[in-house]
Amino acid sequence: MDSNTEARPLLAVSPERHLLEGCVSTQSLKERLPTGSALAALGQLRQWLAELVELRQCPLEHWLDLIGQIEKLAEYHQLRLVPQYLDAQRMRKLSESEIWRTTFGYWQQLGHAYLQCLLRYQAEPDEVRNFRSRLPLVLTRLLHTLARQHEWSLLRYAHVEERIWRDLGQCYLLAESWGLAERRCVLHEGRPGESTPKQELLKTLMLSMAAPDALAPVQLYIAERLSAHLSPYFALHTTAGPGCAFCFDLSLHQPPTRVAGGAAATTAPLSRFFGAGTSALALQKLITQAQQHGQLTREVGLGSEFSRADLLATLHHLERHWADARPARRSKREPTLSRMTVLPGLLPALRWLGQLQEGGKGAMPIPLRAESWVVSDHSAEGFGATLPAQPSDWLTVGTLIGTRVQSAAAMRMGLLRRITAETDTHYRIGVELIGQQAVRVNLRPVLPHQDGGPMSKGQTAILLSLRPDEQDAVELLLPPDALGLRRLQMQLGTRHFIIETLELVEQGRDYRRVRYRLLPLG
């Protein structure tokens, strides 16, 4: 390791005395952090938190002040790491795993430090009587660390630990019993904005009920920021009612659920009913902002680096899933049991299609990166599959895949719409099938002299149906840089068609899904 990035030992002149035992300034701590690496700095801050809670001889007030200093220093490094994580094109690769482990570990250690403050207060309330005025801050920040652990679990497509639900329930129950659930305090040192234990709990619960397993990582991050921004509008009561469509039991150590019919009559004493409350109007205003300006106001906490498409997709997603009525399924699921070959990515799918079409009906080539999934249910729109192991590196919501059932002759394209970690080793995958059949076609400029960029010499694409719709239109999947011309010549086998762009339906990392109108050849 480079000497510039190594952390300096936190020891005073006397080796018997840890530096954190005495008064130490934030600037002094900052100077001892590794330089040039946000990851190393956050790891060192996590280590200091672990060392601090072992210094039992330090006064409780001293503990809390140092925890606040460390948390303030960590904020800058977290802000540097989040974009790196969201920009990762594959999950669970080495760099992504290191960012996740360090960040999640930091939030877990910070939560443990605040929890130790509460435990010390409960163990010796007479000796730390003056500490009671700081309990709202400790409770709010502890719930905030649990919210962050929940968010980072979702970003990883990991199973949310039972410990997180347990600590959320117990911490909020303490806040209620001490009459501090709605006591406001500053959440971040040196930054404007206040929060309460109730708001911090609701941020986590509402994000959990927003079908986060159906959001891509960037959209999930947007949803967390929106949940935090709208938390003052959310509702939490001891009985069910309008605006409180969900339920969380503070004692069960389990995630929240949607209220079933008649649930209010059999309410457990520690059940809390919650929901969107009066946030619908505020959510509508945010949708209008995103539609008109392509971004949201600074108060939401989202910069201009997030696309209009991701903002609107997330806002509409929250609107659907936070409604009092459960979103209706477009078609009924039917149980099934079959094996399917799955291949991620547009270009690999194009090569696979070429092999299938060149080999004829008897061809059964299986690409090297292909996986074999067991399909457990299907509907008119897609299918569900169970993976009894850690998901592959490429698995993320929004990924384009080519699919082929063993007994089927044709190949179809699909989009991963949901990844649910049912346990630490079992994952449920939800796939939306697009089009009726995947067929490789060639695209060229209509006129030879036209400059179509990458398509001037021809471009392969995937036609999603052999039959146009009622508007005489078809959909194609193309590489992201392949839309240089409005009109194109499409070759399907020995037949030629002229197509004209109608609209961009959807765009992912490695594909564009575009709708074209068929034009007469003349």
- Mean per-residue pLDDT, 270-298: 94
Segment 409-452, tens digit of pLDDT: 788 999 999 999 888 788 899 999 999 999 999 999 887 655 55
CB 24 within 8 A of CB 66: yes
Segment 233-266, tens digit of pLDDT: 999 999 888 889 999 999 999 999 998 764 444 5
In CATH, what class is 439-519?
mainly beta
Q: How long, in residues, is the chain?
A: 522
* Lowest-confidence region among 30-44, 72-86, 152-166, 319-333: 319-333
Quick one: which of 159, 262, 246 has its CA closest to 209? Answer: 246
Quick one: which of 438, 430, 426, 435 has its CA closest to 397? Answer: 430
- Evaluated on CA atoms 26, 31, 34, 37, the torsion sign reads positive
Is residue 405 within a helix (H) or strand (E), and if so which, with residue range?
Answer: strand 400-405
The CA distance from 185 to 176, in Å, is 16
Query: Same fold for the domain at 334-434 and the one at 439-519?
Result: yes
- Supply the pLDDT for residue 5: 42
- The encoded tokens of residue 402 equal 């080519």
- Residue 186 burial (CB < 10 Å; 0-12/13-18/19+)? middle
**Domain residue extents for the chain:** 1-207, 334-434, 439-519
Segment 465-518, tens digit of pLDDT: 989 998 999 999 999 887 578 899 999 988 999 999 999 999 888 999 999 999
Segment 2-32, tens digit of pLDDT: 434 444 444 443 456 777 887 888 899 999 9
Strands 439-445 and 427-434: unpaired
- Supply the pLDDT for residue 358: 77
Is residue 338 within a helix (H) or strand (E), and if so which, with residue range?
Answer: strand 334-344
Is residue 61 within a helix (H) or strand (E), and if so which, with residue range?
Answer: helix 60-86
Give the predicted TM-score (pTM) of the model: 0.88
Dump the DSSP string for 184-235: -EESSTTS--EE-HHHHHHHHHHHHTS-GGGS-HHHHHHHHHHHHHHGGG-E
**Protein fold of 334-434:** Thrombin, subunit H (2.40.10)
**49 pLDDT more than 90:** yes
